[in-house]
Amino acid sequence: MRRLSRWLLLGEWRAHPVRALVAIAAIAVGISLGFAIHLINAAAFNEFSAAVKGLSGLADVQVRSTEPFFDEAIYPALAQRDGVVVASPVLEFDASVPGQRTALKIIGTDAFRASYISPELVGTPTDNNINDTLADDALFLSAAAQQWLQPQANAVTLQVGTSQIKLRVAGSLPAARAGQRIAVMDIGAAQWRFAKLGQLSRIDLKLRDGVNREAFKAQLEKDLQARYPGRFRVNQPNDGEQNNSNESMSRAYRVNLTVLALVALFTGAFLVFSTQALSVIRRRSQFALLRVLGMDRQRLLRQILLEGLCLGIAGSAIGIAAGYGLAAAALHFMGADLGAGFFSGVRPQVQFTPVAAAVYFALGVAVALLGCAAPALDAARAKPAIALKSGSEEAAMSRLSRAWPSLACIALAALLSQAPPIFELPLFGYVSIALLLIGAIGLMPRLAASVFRFAHRRWSAAIAGKPDASAVMTLTLSRLANASSQAGIALGGVLSSFSLMVAMAIMVASFRVSLDDWLLHILPADIYVSTASGGATAGLRPQEQAAVAALPGVAKADFLTTRSVALAPGRPPVTLMARTVDAANPGRTLAIVGATQLPAAGGPPPVWVSEAMVDLYGMKVGQRIELPLAGAPRAFLVAGVWRDYARPTGTIQMRLSDYRAITGEQEASGVALTLKPGSRPEDTIKALKQLPFAAALTASEPSEIRAMSMKIFDRSFAITYLLEAIAIVIGLFGVAATFSAQTLARAKEFGMLRHVGVTRRQVLSILAIEGGSLTALGIVTGFALGWVISLILVFVVNPQSFHWTMQLHMPWPLLATVAGLLLAAAALTALLAGRQALSGGPIRAVREDW
């Protein structure tokens, strides 16, 4: 029996190697993409976590503020607290680098205390001059920072306000991780040089031996909360709060990419199903003969499942190997974040993970087994006497045309699409999409039967009494109307590939168009001036702001200040933006969503929160909230919700006048200039360049900002475009494989048609019309299904993943192009396969039925 099983398996593959290779390739592509994305993100996250732990060193407890900086007056109390051996103050900030879009992270430390807690942050002087560790102009660069900045004459130029300072590169940081762009300098020098006197970012505490860290942390947190309500957070470096914050930012992106990669695997599963189903239909009489000769049902079932198992094992093994190679190549050429910007500053190396490889391998095998389960069960249940007869192929798949399982899947998909997220992920949304696909594919035999029977009746009525009517069209419609199950298999291949392609194309196009419309709305000014593209040390002082506002042609100057605030443990900081906002009409400058509320006289000042704040923090219009500003929690009123595509972690906008009144800070990081009627932007920009501090400024028009933003969008979605292209290619191969398999399986039918007088050219015409008709129906149905899936992606998956909404947009040119390719592929494949099926002559074809 083993020899028979091997002979049946190898004989089928030798007879039809292309179909088996296409099914293996489809599974391999899906597994390789999913496994590669997992390896890339695992490597990036692990490297990022290690980098964060390296900066924390051996600290047992860390004290941070809910604001970026806090007064160093708290330091003596913490350093003298019972149980503390060493308290190391740290000042950490992103320094603006002239001419660069990214910032240099500078860490100011007390070298004597840092050597006990975080020796990785102690620089190594170049000439063993230990005095450089405390010098006020000395900077120690990591290897990645030195490679990036290429310091000239061992000096680095940085920007503070609109001025530039030069710091001497006194040595290196040999303990910094690969790709980590950081610099270390004396904390006192950093406070003085960067105008942060008396400010700290965190305090690292090393505890005495025997002190319970958990108890110490809890008591310290309680004492700080009692004395400084809402101002400080106490955490342990190993509790992963920073890592969890970064993971929460990247998790939705990673999950969406993984699901997108598994789209290819789903298409591969259906290819396995169509390959096995058509193979079982073609060999139906062979299996019946084996049953007559003594093979029982269980052995026959195992034989067909073995075929699917072999396809799954081969595809999964190739996919695992290819996924590892893809991950290594992507990390080398695209970076750790795949263009999304979540894991910048690290250079990870791909690591093979046996557990993940086993999971993806098992997933590929399971998909292949599920794909051939229905054909295997049908072959095992078939009665040999009936299966031996010719013409019983259509009855073989009759069980698959039952409507109630498909309708149940669609109904359940509709319910799950309204379910809330789990762990802030749209898991139910993905399940509803899968159920919708399964239900729609299951209904295709019924749909094909209804459509083509209706078309056949209309054609029969139209040609009644017309002896010269086209016999080709009559035979084609008759066959399609009476072989709906086999037509449904072919339609399912078109439906699965085209509907998923339509859904992804609509989702990406909707986001891109919505982003462009959003940029048009939030960029109403004529010129936008900023002090630096990256970093937090550049800014415009009051006298410089006055000089910019007095430029010729300027009618109004709206200044902007940004900072970050932490609102909840375990979540990344949100961005606080202070600018000119008209409380009576905030929609002029903000993309307002829903209703707004005017602040009451004498009440808390208004703020406008992004959609992410509603999802992540439960904020709503009219709610009173507290924000940490100027060392104390301040009350504000949520006056509206606005759409922000730039910051998925949350943004709060407030009036610049309120911000300055509370904090006393007068600097601004940028300004939007509205010109007087008739003034030309180029004249104002020319005058701007004449200012004494013009070298520290960059001026852009809205069109330039939009073009740059769309370029960043396309780079961030490059992997999405790649996955979409792969799905299209797999869909085309799936359509070709399905139609070729179905055509070759009908060699006896074509031989009989040739015997009754149908010419070779007419048979090929029948095949071309069949392929075009089935594909056209699949395209129409696939478009409708893809549109429904896109609604779930745009209005359920996207808001639950990234916490923003967008408008639906249809990319008609792309959809029409892919539809045309599918039509051409189906018709061409049917013709080529038909020529091969007719190559043996009618006598040989009919003889197979004897």
pLDDT tens, residue by residue, 541-566: 999 999 999 999 999 999 999 999 99
Give the SS3 label for residue 668. strand
Give the SS3 label for residue 215. helix
Whether the per-residue pLDDT at 4 is higher than 80: the answer is: no
Distance CA 617, CA 610 (A): 11
The two tokens of residue 18 are 């292309």
Condensed to tens digits (0 to 9), the pLDDT of residues 370-385 reads 877 777 777 777 777 6
The two tokens of residue 759 are 């010419």
Sorted by sequence, the CB contacts under 8 Å of residue 346 that are 6+ apart come out as 44, 47, 48, 51, 177, 178, 179, 180, 336
Q: Counting Cβ atoms within 10 Å, is residue 521 exposed (0-12), middle (13-18) or buried (19+)?
A: middle
- The mean per-residue pLDDT over the stretch 9-21 comes to 76
| DSSP string across 244-300 | HHHHHHHHHHHHHHHHHHHHHHHHHHHHHHHHHHHHHHHTHHHHHHHHHTT--HHHH
209 φ/ψ angles, rounded to the nearest 5 degrees: -60, 135
3-state DSSP of 338-355: CCCCCCCCCCCCCCCCHH
When mean pLDDT is compared over 245-259, 542-556, 769-783, the highest value belongs to: 542-556
Q: Based on C-alpha coordinates, what's the Rg of the chain?
A: 34
More confident residue, 72 or 391: 72
Q: Counting Cβ atoms within 10 Å, is residue 443 exposed (0-12), middle (13-18) or buried (19+)?
A: buried
Tell me the one-letter amino acid at 181.
R
Distance CA 666, CA 649 (A): 26
Query: What b/e sequence results for 770-780 when a residue is b if at least 16 CB atoms lie within 10 Å of its CB, and e otherwise?
Result: bbbbbbebbbe
Predicted confidence band at 683 (pLDDT cuts at 50, 70, 90)? very high
Distance CA 98, CA 120 (A): 27
Distance CA 82, CA 205 (A): 11
Q: How many residues does the chain have?
A: 850
Distance CA 51, CA 627 (A): 30
Please check whether residue 123 is in contact with residue 62, taking contact to mean a CB–CB distance below 8 angstroms: no
Sorted by sequence, the CB contacts under 8 Å of residue 478 that are 6+ apart come out as 456
Condensed to tens digits (0 to 9), the pLDDT of residues 281-320 reads 667 777 777 778 788 888 888 888 888 899 889 999 999 9
Whether the per-residue pLDDT at 240 is higher than 50: the answer is: no
- According to DSSP, the residues that pair with 565 across neighbouring strands are 574
3-state DSSP of 67-94: CCCEEHHHHHHHHCCCCEEEEEEEEEEE
Condensed to tens digits (0 to 9), the pLDDT of residues 630-663 reads 989 999 999 999 999 988 889 999 999 999 999 9
Distance CA 106, CA 169 (A): 13
Condensed to tens digits (0 to 9), the pLDDT of residues 253-266 reads 666 666 666 666 67
Please check whether residue 27 is in contact with residue 312, taking contact to mean a CB–CB distance below 8 angstroms: yes
- The mean per-residue pLDDT over the stretch 501-513 comes to 89
Q: Scanning the structure block, which residue is given the tokens 């299904």?
A: 785
Q: Counting Cβ atoms within 10 Å, is residue 265 exposed (0-12), middle (13-18) or buried (19+)?
A: buried
Predicted confidence band at 333 (pLDDT cuts at 50, 70, 90)? confident
Please check whether residue 771 is in contact with residue 739, taking contact to mean a CB–CB distance below 8 angstroms: yes
Displacement of CA 162 from its chain's centroid (Å): 38
Beta strands in 198-250 (DSSP E): 199-200, 202-207, 232-235
**Poorest-confidence range of 43-52, 158-167, 802-811, 836-845?**
836-845
Condensed to tens digits (0 to 9), the pLDDT of residues 600-615 reads 888 999 999 999 999 9
Give the SS3 label for residue 423. coil
Predicted confidence band at 848 (pLDDT cuts at 50, 70, 90)? very low
Tell me the one-letter amino acid at 121.
L
Taken in order 436, 437, 438, 443, is the CA torsion positive or negative? positive
**Poorest-confidence range of 44-53, 321-330, 605-614, 660-669?**
44-53
Whether the per-residue pLDDT at 40 is higher than 90: the answer is: no
Q: Scanning the structure block, which residue is given the tokens 């490059």?
A: 718
What pLDDT shows up at residue 243? 47
What pLDDT shows up at residue 248? 56
What pLDDT shows up at residue 634? 94
More confident residue, 216 or 751: 216
Query: What b/e sequence results for 268-280 when a residue is b if at least 16 CB atoms lie within 10 Å of its CB, and e otherwise?
Result: bbbbbbbbbbbbb
- The mean per-residue pLDDT over the stretch 775-794 comes to 92
Instruction: Choose among 312, 323, 319: nearest CA to 269.
Output: 312
- According to DSSP, the residues that pair with 607 across neighbouring strands are 638, 654
Predicted confidence band at 447 (pLDDT cuts at 50, 70, 90)? confident
- The mean per-residue pLDDT over the stretch 347-351 comes to 78
Overall pTM surpassing 0.75 (yes/no): yes
- According to DSSP, the residues that pair with 558 across neighbouring strands are 672
Beta strands at 527-530 and 670-675: parallel, antiparallel or unpaired: antiparallel
Q: Counting Cβ atoms within 10 Å, is residue 8 exposed (0-12), middle (13-18) or buried (19+)?
A: buried
What pLDDT shows up at residue 465? 73
Whether the per-residue pLDDT at 849 is higher than 50: the answer is: no
Distance CA 101, CA 90 (A): 25
What pLDDT shows up at residue 176? 86
Displacement of CA 330 from its chain's centroid (Å): 15
Predicted confidence band at 343 (pLDDT cuts at 50, 70, 90)? low
What pLDDT shows up at residue 641? 97
Q: What is the mean pLDDT of the chain?
A: 84
More confident residue, 211 or 375: 211
Distance CA 688, CA 683 (A): 9
Instruction: Choose among 107, 178, 149: nearest CA to 336.
Output: 178
What pLDDT shows up at residue 839? 67
More confident residue, 469 or 808: 808
More confident residue, 618 or 571: 618
- The mean per-residue pLDDT over the stretch 191-213 comes to 94
What pLDDT shows up at residue 837? 64
What pLDDT shows up at residue 438? 86
- According to DSSP, the residues that pair with 672 across neighbouring strands are 528, 558
Taken in order 289, 293, 296, 302, is the CA torsion positive or negative? negative
Instruction: Choose among 571, 608, 613: nearest CA to 589.
Output: 608
The two tokens of residue 726 are 């792969």
The two tokens of residue 62 are 């860390």
- According to DSSP, the residues that pair with 166 across neighbouring strands are 157
What pLDDT shows up at residue 87? 96
Distance CA 46, CA 120 (A): 18
Whether the per-residue pLDDT at 51 is higher than 80: the answer is: no
**Poorest-confidence range of 194-208, 300-314, 337-351, 424-438?**
337-351
Q: Counting Cβ atoms within 10 Å, is residue 588 exposed (0-12), middle (13-18) or buried (19+)?
A: exposed
Instruction: Choose among 531, 535, 517: nearest CA to 560.
Output: 531
What pLDDT shows up at residue 850? 35
Please check whether residue 503 is in contact with residue 260, taking contact to mean a CB–CB distance below 8 angstroms: no
Whether the per-residue pLDDT at 416 is higher than 70: the answer is: yes
Q: What is the DSSP letter of 60?
A: S
What pLDDT shows up at residue 256? 66
Whether the per-residue pLDDT at 590 is higher than 80: the answer is: yes
Displacement of CA 811 from its chain's centroid (Å): 20
What pLDDT shows up at residue 506? 92
What pLDDT shows up at residue 591? 95
Condensed to tens digits (0 to 9), the pLDDT of residues 93-128 reads 999 998 887 899 999 999 999 999 988 899 999 888
When mean pLDDT is compared over 36-40, 351-355, 720-724, 841-845, the highest value belongs to: 351-355
Condensed to tens digits (0 to 9), the pLDDT of residues 822-831 reads 788 777 877 7
Q: What percent of the chain has pLDDT over 90?
A: 44
| DSSP string across 677-742 | TT--HHHHHHHHTTSTTGGG-EEE-HHHHHHHHHHHHHHHTHHHHHHHHHHHHHHHHHHHHHHHHH
- The mean per-residue pLDDT over the stretch 396-418 comes to 83
The two tokens of residue 73 are 């007056």
Condensed to tens digits (0 to 9), the pLDDT of residues 53-82 reads 667 777 899 999 999 999 999 999 999 999
